[in-house]
Amino acid sequence: MSLNLLNLDGRTRQLMQKELEYDLARQRLHISPYLSGQGIHDFATLLREAIKAGNAETLAVALGDMRRMARTAHRQLPQGGFHIVSVPANAAEMIADDAFNRYYIRALCCRAIDEGINHLVVYRAKSVHTPRTRSEELVETAVDPTQLLKDLRQHTGEETNLGIPGGPNSGLSVHLP
């Protein structure tokens, strides 16, 4: 099931593209360790295409093609060192949902700031089997777009301080009030 992004329209897509270019110019595009060499090479182009005319689902399909996903990845151990793990079967979907949603949220933050809207509303854009308690607490809360944008720009591909979007498979996003 793909993300239900309530305010995904032409204006939001333009701002998503602008945010992607912002990260590319600063070499801050998050690259998942689950991507193969080909996936790493193609990721920015595929994300740009999904932003222009697709969605998270079309991005996931593209990532799943042409050996863009690795079979194994390295995971850091708490005590130091690494071990090899198998890449999850749904890794392409997880990467696509996270990347597309983050740029969507950042675009809505920019849009809200531009339009003088002082908050965005957190909602569940994708149903999940076992929602995290913290995610459930955030649903239907208001969030400052300036703070959220700053948080997402600082934490590309990692947990944000505000907890939005809420980590892998959280299903959280925001919408205009």
Give me the number of domains the chain comprises. 1
Q: Is the predicted pLDDT of residue 135 greater than 80, yes or no?
A: yes
Place of tokens 């995290």: 132
According to the model, what pLDDT value does residue 94 have? 95
**pLDDT (mean) for 150-173:** 92
Q: Is residue 1 part of a domain?
A: no
Q: Mean pLDDT in the chain?
A: 95
Q: Is residue 56 part of a domain?
A: yes
Query: Is 79 or 167 the better-scoring residue by pLDDT?
Result: 79
Q: Is residue 84 part of a domain?
A: yes
**pLDDT (mean) for 133-149:** 96
Query: Is 166 or 31 the better-scoring residue by pLDDT?
Result: 31
Residue 83 burial by Cβ neighbours in a 10 Å radius (0-12, 13-18, 19+): exposed
Q: Is residue 82 part of a domain?
A: yes
pTM, full prediction: 0.95
Q: Could you give the percent of the chain with pLDDT greater than 90?
A: 89
* CA distance linking residue 28 with residue 16, whole number of Å: 15
Token readout for 88 is 């999850």
Q: Is residue 75 part of a domain?
A: yes
Q: Is residue 31 part of a domain?
A: yes
According to the model, what pLDDT value does residue 166 have? 87
* CA distance linking residue 152 with residue 126, whole number of Å: 19
* CA distance linking residue 4 with residue 128, whole number of Å: 13
**pLDDT (mean) for 59-86:** 95
Q: Is the predicted pLDDT of residue 162 greater than 90, yes or no?
A: yes
- Kindly indicate the confidence band of residue 128, based on its pLDDT and cuts at 50, 70 and 90: confident
Q: Is the predicted pLDDT of residue 1 greater than 80, yes or no?
A: no
**pLDDT (mean) for 104-115:** 98
According to the model, what pLDDT value does residue 9 have? 98
Q: Is residue 28 part of a domain?
A: yes
- Domain range for 33 is 10-175
- Kindly indicate the confidence band of residue 92, based on its pLDDT and cuts at 50, 70 and 90: very high
Q: Is residue 5 part of a domain?
A: no
